[in-house]
Structure 1
Amino acid sequence: MIEQTLLKCEEMIQRGSSSFYKAFAGLPSPRREAVHVIYAFCRMIDDSVDEPEESPYSIFELRSHFQNLDHAEGHFIWPALRWLFENFPQSSKDQFMLQMQGQVRDLSFTHYETMDQLESYCYLVAGTVGEMLLPVLRDDSNEEAQSAGIALGMGMQIVNIIRDVGEDLTRGRRYLPLEVMEKHGYTQQELERNVVNDRFIAVLQELKGAALDWFKEGLDNVHTYPPESGMAVELAAAFYAGILDDVAASGYDVFRRRAYVSDEAKLLMFRRTAARYPSPFGGKGAAAVH
């Protein structure tokens, strides 16, 4: 029974994020399945706000069911989450609650003024994911590892914000901080007209620099992870950094084209990363990425 439940979580991550799925495909069981469960629930939280008409629950219903997880029924995510906490007892529910708090913010707080505001949001919706993954990816816990996990999540969320500027605009949201736009002389009116110019590129490049700084901090202690987990973390960061490269290659036009990383590019990144890890792990991972 639980096998079918976990398979449904895997199907969600396959459909929702090929980058995340491929980055963590080389993990041993049950770490791999735990990543699928965490992704699936976070996807449901995100969809409940961004696509409420397609979501089986509102964000408030998700929060209520999660608070009463022992008795929650009606969807495969509830037994999957019970399995997660049973198999990884060091996992905390606090980060999931913070994640939902961040998504609730999207319902009312839609235009960001400062980088501090943006980074607070990025922690809630993505830094918390780094914290959720930590007890799944490694058997110990320390402050340095926790900070690194948060940093990786923060960097990934800023990449998402850069990639999704146009899409978010159609939802009435502007995550680009006004102070950064004003610093580079780019206006809200230009944003609404989808203007790509040197000033807009400078705004995105500043955010790109922030994302890369978070990635650097997040990878500083990757050598302390079990090899399979360390490689998964490196791949996830590389795939997301690849989105930034694609944004630049398209002239920073994030209004008319959604940036992505091709399967060929992911395979190249995998080979470069696997070369730093001892065999036979590299060979095992290669099969997973294919």
Structure 2
Amino acid sequence: MSATASPVAASSADAQALPAAGSSFYTAMRLLPAERRDAMYAVYAFCRAVDDVADDGGAREVRAAELDRWRADIDALYAGKPPARVQALVGPVKTYGLKRQDFQDVIDGMAMDAVEDIVAPSEQKLDLYCDRVASAVGRLSVRIFGMEEADGIKLAWHQGRALQLTNILRDIDEDAERGRLYLPLEKFQAVGLQNPTPQSALAHPRLAEVCAGVAAEAEEHYRTTWEIIRRNPRSATKAARLMAAAYHLYLDAVVKRGWTAPRTRVKPSKLSLIGVALRHGIV
């Protein structure tokens, strides 16, 4: 997606501004009332645009400069002078009290990918990355969903990390092809690999132990996510519960598949995804 022709300024009916039909995100957002759904599509389009800047493969200095322009655009939005490409965020910011810092955190998360290829980050850096690229999106989302503030922020914290760790485990081979490795350094050092590269990490005989440790952390975040969801009104948590249930299917699938090469790309069955949609899409 070209950052210079961002879909953020488009209506939610514009195909470019919509998540892929059939995706967990698309299905979850379809559960929302129209106004909240349109607000989520505007946030999604913003996230897609800045993510594409980080991942487009261009010169790092060009990507950094474009992310700086996005930062300036968000600042202008909150100063009451929104450029055209963030115009669709004006209504959601006003209606749902979306926070400027959360948008900036998302950009900062994408910048972590743009300035360098992340390889075996420290646990602390990985947690910061998850917070910026996932939990910050969650903080924007729970306000649109209508959740109570304190539990909404807690949900964003835990669910963002659960989903992002699931993504990392699902995508280890694809990430390695791009020169990236998001599994944490300390877990590799614990199994005897002091300076992992994407290639040496995925070929290591104790990779399964590293992945199992990350999967256990994801499971704990899912557990807390569900605790928060269950104590809040279903009307404000329908989208969150569908996302949690759908993504947990991916975690189950990669754990069941295991970590021995060659690793096939996992995808839950259509039947299981339909079951999740039926269970969590009904009031």
Shorter-chain TM range is: 0.7 to 0.9
Q: What is residue 86 of structure 1 aligned with on the other side? A: 94
Aligned-partner Cα distance in 1 for 2:127–2:203: 24
CA deviation string 1:110-157 (max 9, x = no partner) = 223432221121111111111111211115322x33112211011111
Q: Does 1:163 align with 2:184?
A: no
AA matched with 1:233: A
Q: What is residue 266 of structure 2 aligned with on the other side? A: 259
Aligned equivalent of 2:135, options 107, 127, 140:
127
AA matched with 1:39: Y
Aligned-partner Cα distance in 1 for 2:261–2:92: 37
SS at match of 2:137: helix
Tell me: CA distance 1:243–1:18, structure 2 relative to 1, closer, same or farther (3 Å): same
Q: Does 1:173 align with 2:188?
A: no
Aligned equivalent of 1:20, options 12, 16, 25:
25
Report the number of matched residues.
269
Give the CA deviation at 1:242: 0.9
Give the CA deviation at 1:82: 1.2
Aligned-partner Cα distance in 2 for 1:34–1:194: 40
Tell me: CA distance 1:13–1:253, structure 2 relative to 1, closer, same or farther (3 Å): farther
Q: Write out aligned runs for 1:83-232 (5 A).
A: 83-88=91-96, 90-106=97-113, 107-108=115-116, 110-138=118-146, 140-142=148-150, 144-185=151-192, 191-192=198-199, 195=202, 199-232=206-239
Over aligned residue pairs, what C-alpha RMSD do you find? Answer: 3.0
Aligned-partner Cα distance in 1 for 2:219–2:9: 37
Aligned-partner Cα distance in 1 for 2:129–2:276: 29
Aligned-partner Cα distance in 1 for 2:261–2:129: 21
Q: Which moved more, 1:213-222 or 1:189-198?
A: 189-198
Q: Which moved more, 1:250-259 or 1:36-45?
A: 250-259
Aligned equivalent of 2:73, options 43, 65, 70:
65
Q: What is residue 277 of structure 1 aligned with on the other side? A: none
Q: Which moved more, 1:130-139 or 1:4-13?
A: 4-13
Aligned-partner Cα distance in 2 for 1:255–1:127: 31
- Of the two structures, which has the highest relative contact order with CA contacts closer than 8 Å and spacing of 6 or more? 1
Percent identical: 25
Aligned-partner Cα distance in 1 for 2:197–2:52: 29
Q: Is the CA contact (8 Å cut-off) linking 2:17 and 2:42 kept in structure 1?
A: no
Q: Does 1:48 align with 2:53?
A: yes
